[in-house]
């Protein structure tokens, strides 16, 4: 299957001596150098593939060439050099009629400044793509009305664009592209004029739509959080060049250079990072077949008070606590039967960090990251969560793993504290403050979400995990998560 959209070594230079500018840029000239003789290099040597059904986000500061790039993807602008392919056809070679055909059948677009027709009402604007395609009036109006309902503009069909607010106009532009019902949608800052609530709503709807209909979406945005939330992959443009293309996590955790790093500085990491990217290696583990004596030795060696108990196939059984192991060893018990605490919070590797706070709050031991088959993939001590929030949350680092032990050692957690304030996470990464800090962010999390978010199959010998009653009082500000 060919890529839905592919750009290969695309250049777009406006102004004088464009061809020469491309040659110079290829030879290593900078944007400023070609600028000197009147050429504006808007897009420089950008290559990427967008797979069918993918959301590809292009991100960059104002003037970095995002709009120029997206306009080349449907042939509104012709690249100065390089090729753009849609479904395997090179659109730079199409005849005008074929290009029109391609646009009306395959690619629709949402414009940054809406580009609504002021002399047509909302319904006619929305039906425009179908009108061009020659769909009969009744059908296209019906479908346009559906699209308008989808974006929450039912009842505004007969109004003119000038009678709508900016956000409403933007949604009409969105409905116009959706009504055209093309497999590929190009969206140039499609949500930029929406208020945060509607924006979130539209993002969710877009994600739903995309998973239902499998549309391929190229999405442009200034907003990093939006990029990270929507994008299967994200491309960062700077001064016309693609400085990094990768998944949201790659960009967050492994910025290609300082520019990207600065860019991602203020992103709400908790919504982007997932459990798998912040988890630490589950170091104190005990085989389920081992005896209490072996378990106690493991705990001592690792200087922790709890250890995870696994079967041979790494499926998680539960945890053992030092305080129950100690007496068992003294009484000479031979197996761990009855000593394993199965009340462990399990989360799946894909759970976003924002959704980890609630289970973390309810659990006195680190969270267990468990895959679909019930195997333990890693653990998340509370301090790791805080580190992720603070921005240096690279879960594989030894530092956080160590910190994790300390956090686990500090127990029992004081679950009676219910201060609603959210702590400054930046300074809580210090191990000394762990016990105090670790339950604070939890105060802002919503425990009600936990069961739904936990897809792990409980192993047969673990009991049902009772939700912690102490969490009841802790409904905080972060209720909108997902």
Q: At what angle do helices 196-213 and 166-180 cross, to 10 degrees?
A: 0
**At closest approach, how far in Å is the CB of 103 from another protein?**
4
111-130 footprint of ligand ATP as x/- string (CB under 6 A): -x------------------
From the list another protein, Mg ion, ligand ATP, none, which binds 158 (C-beta under 5 to 8 Å, kind-based)? another protein
**At closest approach, how far in Å is the CB of 122 from another protein?**
9
CA 334, 339, 343 angle in degrees (round to 5)? Answer: 155
The two most distant CA atoms of the chain are separated, in Å, by 89
**46 or 413: whose CB is closer to ligand ATP?**
46
Of 411, 367, 375, nearest in space to 278 by CA: 367
- Contact between 352 and ligand ATP by CB under 6 A: the answer reads no
CA distance 354 to 351: 8
Q: Which of positions 28-87 make contact with ligand ATP (CB under 6 A)?
A: 40, 42, 60, 62-68
**110 or 401: whose CB is closer to Mg ion?**
110
**6 or 103: whose CB is closer to another protein?**
103
Distant-in-sequence, close-in-space partners of 36: CB < 8 Å, separation ≥ 6: none
Distance in Å from the first CA to the final CA of the chain: 32
Residues making contact with another protein (CB under 8 A): 71, 74, 76, 97, 100-105, 107-109, 111, 113, 115-121, 124, 128-129, 132-133, 158-160, 162, 180
Chain centroid to Cα 126, Å, comes to: 30
From the list another protein, Mg ion, ligand ATP, none, which binds 119 (C-beta under 5 to 8 Å, kind-based)? another protein
From the list Mg ion, ligand ATP, another protein, none, which binds 138 (C-beta under 5 to 8 Å, kind-based)? none
**189 or 362: whose CB is closer to Mg ion?**
189
Cβ atoms within 10 A of the Cβ of 130, count?
23
**At closest approach, how far in Å is the CB of 396 from another protein?**
45
Q: Looking up tokens 């008070």, which residue turns up?
A: 305
Residues 432, 426 contacting (CB under 8 angstroms): no
From the list Mg ion, ligand ATP, another protein, none, which binds 60 (C-beta under 5 to 8 Å, kind-based)? ligand ATP
CA distance 50 to 3: 6
From the list another protein, Mg ion, ligand ATP, none, which binds 68 (C-beta under 5 to 8 Å, kind-based)? ligand ATP
**67 or 478: whose CB is closer to Mg ion?**
67
3-state class of 428 per DSSP? helix
CA distance 269 to 264: 9
In 268-397, which ranges are continuous DSSP H helix? Answer: 269-272, 275-278, 292-302, 322-330, 357-362, 382-390
**171 or 440: whose CB is closer to another protein?**
171
The helix or strand, by DSSP H or E, that contains position 104, with its residue range, turns out to be helix 96-106
For residue 177, say if its preceding peptide bond is cis, omega within 30 degrees of 0.
no
**73 or 236: whose CB is closer to another protein?**
73
Distant-in-sequence, close-in-space partners of 410: CB < 8 Å, separation ≥ 6: 434, 435, 438
Give the CB-nearest residue to Mg ion: 67
**Could you tell me the CA-to-CA distances from 8 to 13, 36, 82, 223, 352 in Å, in that order?**
15, 26, 6, 26, 33
435 bridge partner residues: none
CA distance 248 to 267: 11
The dihedral through the CA atoms of 238, 240, 244, 245 has a sign that is positive
**At closest approach, how far in Å is the CB of 230 from ligand ATP?**
17
**At closest approach, how far in Å is the CB of 108 from another protein?**
7
**31 or 71: whose CB is closer to another protein?**
71
Cβ atoms within 10 A of the Cβ of 383, count?
29
From the list ligand ATP, Mg ion, another protein, none, which binds 42 (C-beta under 5 to 8 Å, kind-based)? ligand ATP
Residues making contact with Mg ion (CB under 5 A): 67, 112
**40 or 182: whose CB is closer to ligand ATP?**
40
From the list another protein, ligand ATP, Mg ion, none, which binds 128 (C-beta under 5 to 8 Å, kind-based)? another protein
From the list Mg ion, ligand ATP, another protein, none, which binds 62 (C-beta under 5 to 8 Å, kind-based)? ligand ATP
**At closest approach, how far in Å is the CB of 115 from another protein?**
4
Residues 75, 84 contacting (CB under 8 angstroms): yes
**At closest approach, how far in Å is the CB of 157 from another protein?**
10
**22 or 109: whose CB is closer to another protein?**
109
Q: Which of positions 4-23 make contact with ligand ATP (CB under 6 A)?
A: 14-15
List of residues contacting ligand ATP (CB under 6 A): 14-15, 40, 42, 60, 62-68, 112
């Amino acid at each position: 299957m060919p890529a839905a959209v592919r750009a290969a070594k695309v250049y777009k230079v406006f102004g004088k001596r464009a061809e020469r500018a491309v040659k110079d840029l290829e030879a290593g000239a900078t944007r400023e150098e070609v600028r000197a003789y009147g050429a504006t290099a808007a897009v420089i040597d950008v290559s990427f593939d967008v797979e069918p059904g993918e959301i590809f986000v292009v991100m960059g500061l104002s003037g970095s060439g995002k709009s120029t790039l997206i306009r080349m993807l449907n042939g509104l602008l012709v690249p100065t050099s390089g090729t753009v392919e849609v479904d395997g056809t090179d659109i730079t070679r199409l005849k005008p009629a074929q290009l029109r055909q391609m646009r009306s059948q395959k690619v629709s677009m949402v414009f940054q400044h809406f580009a609504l027709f002021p002399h047509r009402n909302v319904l006619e604007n929305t039906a425009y793509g179908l009108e061009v395609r020659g769909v009969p009036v009744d059908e296209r109006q019906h479908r346009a009305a559906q699209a308008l309902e989808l974006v929450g503009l039912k009842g505004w069909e007969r109004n003119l664009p000038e009678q709508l607010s900016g956000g409403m106009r933007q949604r009409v532009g969105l409905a116009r592209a959706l009504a055209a019902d093309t497999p590929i949608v190009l969206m140039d800052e499609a949500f930029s004029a929406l208020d945060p609530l509607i924006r979130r709503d539209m993002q969710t709807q877009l994600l739903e739509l995309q998973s239902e209909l499998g549309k391929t979406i190229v999405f442009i945005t200034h907003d990093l959080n939006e990029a990270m939330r929507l994008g299967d992959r994200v491309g960062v443009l700077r001064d016309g060049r693609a400085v990094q293309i990768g998944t949201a996590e790659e960009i967050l955790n492994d910025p290609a250079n300082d520019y990207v790093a600065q860019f991602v500085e203020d992103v709400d990491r908790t919504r982007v990072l997932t459990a798998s990217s912040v988890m630490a290696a589950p170091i104190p583990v005990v085989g389920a077949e081992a005896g209490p004596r072996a378990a106690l030795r493991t705990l001592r060696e690792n200087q922790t008070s709890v250890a995870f108990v696994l079967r041979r196939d790494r499926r998680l059984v539960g945890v053992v606590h030092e305080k129950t192991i100690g007496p068992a060893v003294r009484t000479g018990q031979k197996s761990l039967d009855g000593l394993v605490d199965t009340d462990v919070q399990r989360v799946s590797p894909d759970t976003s960090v924002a959704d980890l706070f609630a289970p973390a709050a309810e659990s006195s031991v680190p969270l267990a990251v468990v895959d679909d088959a019930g195997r333990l993939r890693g653990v998340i001590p509370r301090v790791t969560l805080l580190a992720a929030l603070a921005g240096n949350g690279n879960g594989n680092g030894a530092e956080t793993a160590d910190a994790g032990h300390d956090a686990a050692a500090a127990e029992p957690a004081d679950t009676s504290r219910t201060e609603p304030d959210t702590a400054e996470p930046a300074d809580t990464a210090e191990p000394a403050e762990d016990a105090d800090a670790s339950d604070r962010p939890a105060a802002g999390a919503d425990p009600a979400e936990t069961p739904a978010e936990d897809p792990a199959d409980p192993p047969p010998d673990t009991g049902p995990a009772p939700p912690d009653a102490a969490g009841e009082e802790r409904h905080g500000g972060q209720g909108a998560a997902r």
